[in-house]
Amino acid sequence: MEKSDRLPSYDLYIGGRWVPSSGPERFPTFNPFTRQPWATISQADASDVASAIAAARHAYETTWRGTSGLERGRLLFKLADLVDGSAERIGNLETTDNGKVIRETTGQARYLARVLRFYAGYADKLWGKVIPLDRGDVFDYAALEPLGVVGLIIAWNSPMAMLGNKAAAALAAGNCVVVKPSEHASVTTLEFCKLVEEAGFPAGVFNVVTGDARTGDALAKAEGLDKISFTGSGTAGRLVAAAAGRTLTPVIMELGGKSPNIIFADADLKKASTGAFAGIFGATGQTCIAGSRLLVQRIVYDEVVTHIVERAPAIRLGDPRMAETEMGTVANEPQFNRIMDYIGSAKSEGATLMTGGGRATGEALGDGLFIQPTVFAEVRNDMRLAQEEIFGPVLAIIPFDTEEEAITIANGTSYGLASGIWTQDINRAMRVSRAMRSGLVWINTYRAVAAQMPFGGVKDSGFGRERGEEGLMEFMTAKNVMINYSDDERDPFAIQT
């Protein structure tokens, strides 16, 4: 980073060096609370992307591929300590960049350290397996090997968590990476490079190219990648998958959601309402796992709706850097406009607006991109409000009568990322969780995640998994080796089993 004019300005991080992009284009990154630009970022083009992939390939072939798991683990543990030591600074930078409240961004920086440690512990334990075959005169084993060079494309809402999920697993598995953060929130990923360097990773193992969709597109189309892990919208995900298909580069897709949170009448209603509340208003609703559809059994419908509607206006909106703030801004102007459009169309679709429904203003909010916590009731599942991901603090409450009806509504969107079930009946909890077509199910909790849990979706929410052992295996491949120790000469025309 260098100071140019009055704003900090960031170059690309390629091959262990800060390098300017090959073209002159730069863009400002905005603080969504002040609406002012606060740093400038380089726009990388296809030639910069190619340089980053070449640097990663060189590092892979010359050092990282031959680096022991013990050493990879040591570097990752060291990096985790450095991230922990910088968690508050990273949290502050993230809050400045994407407007998420400081308690969440600092928590995500600590999560990044946690996930680095989780995968660091695996790095020297990736030993594949010996496979007994039908014949006694061969020895067969499947070795786990890294893929090589992987591209990681990241969204703006939780950059540190996504970076941890993707990069920690990829590096522990022995890959080199090229990261493309979101144009709306690049700074923490760039600052992370300094910690990677300080930890002592060889140059070229970790590279960052910044820029907008054009840079992402260049990465998706590039030759020389062994996998792309993408987090973002379904629209961009489809384009990335199609581009990667041309070079037969495999992809992981972590896409959006329209997750149902189902409250049955027998649930502990206080806990369930709080869980539903946290599921949509946490992170200003800008999370892929937001419980944006709340399904409530009709007998307790009024009670739950009243609880949520009374509580929503009391959420403390304000400067996201202040510890007491509960809901920050929307992260950027396009997203703000999108949410406001959805609110407008929900009103015209006939959903009942119970609270919110507009821009939040006030002295403490300045010019910030705030949206009132918004609740619509009597929503039908076929409304746009119930079908499309809004990615903001907008809750759609849908009544249901029976368990079967709840399951049909819950599964009745194109998405399949997460589901929540609130009930005290264990049999029902198990039945409904089996019926959910989603990658994650929470029972009597919501939006709780951990480094150990496999995370990802089905249907339009994507494929592939992050976190957990599954997340590590996405960045490895099995190489089977068969050793023949029979003294017999084979019959050249018979199949050998």
CA dihedral over 46, 51, 52, 54, signed as positive or negative: positive
Lateral strand order in the sheet of 476-484: 129-130, 138-146, 476-484
Q: Could you identify the residue written with the tokens 């809004």?
A: 390
The yes-or-no answer on residue 288 being catalytic is yes
Maximum pairwise Cα distance, the chain: 88
Among the residue ranges 87-95, 215-223, 303-311, 368-376, the one whose residues contact ligand NAD (CB under 6 A) = 215-223
Among the residue ranges 115-123, 249-257, 405-413, 486-494, the one whose residues contact ligand NAD (CB under 6 A) = 249-257
Q: Which is nearer to ligand NAD, 132 or 334 (CB)?
A: 334
User: Which residues make beta-bridge pairs with 375?
Assistant: 355, 395
End-to-end CA distance of the chain: 59
Identified catalytic residue from 288, 389, 466, 474: 288
Any long-range contacts for 90-94 (C-beta under 8 Å, 24+ apart)? 90/160, 90/188, 90/191, 90/192, 92/321, 93/187, 93/188, 93/191, 94/159, 94/160, 94/185, 94/187, 94/188
Task: Verify binding: residue 94, ligand NAD, rule CB under 6 A.
Answer: no
Least Å from the CB of residue 59 to ligand NAD = 23
Q: Which helix (H) or strand (E) holds 178?
A: strand 176-180
Which of 93, 102, 153, 267 binds ligand NAD (CB under 6 A)? It is 153
Least Å from the CB of residue 412 to ligand NAD = 18
**Cβ proximity of 56 and 226 under 8 Å:** no
**Cβ proximity of 492 and 192 under 8 Å:** no
Among the residue ranges 50-58, 169-177, 248-256, 264-272, the one whose residues contact ligand NAD (CB under 6 A) = 248-256
Count of residues interacting with ligand NAD (CB under 6 A): 30
Which residue's Cβ has the minimum distance to ligand NAD?
216
Q: Which helix (H) or strand (E) holds 305?
A: helix 298-311
Which of 11, 48, 104, 183 binds ligand NAD (CB under 6 A)? It is 183
Least Å from the CB of residue 449 to ligand NAD = 10
Task: Verify binding: residue 212, ligand NAD, rule CB under 6 A.
Answer: yes
Applying the rule CB under 6 A, the residues between 296 and 355 that interact with ligand NAD are none
Alpha-carbon distance 118 to 150, whole Å?
20
Which of 157, 273, 297, 423 binds ligand NAD (CB under 6 A)? It is 157
The yes-or-no answer on residue 310 being catalytic is no
Report the catalytic residues: 254, 288
Sites of contact with ligand NAD (CB under 6 A): 153-158, 180, 182-183, 212-213, 216-217, 220, 231-233, 236, 239-240, 254-257, 288, 389, 391, 417, 457, 462
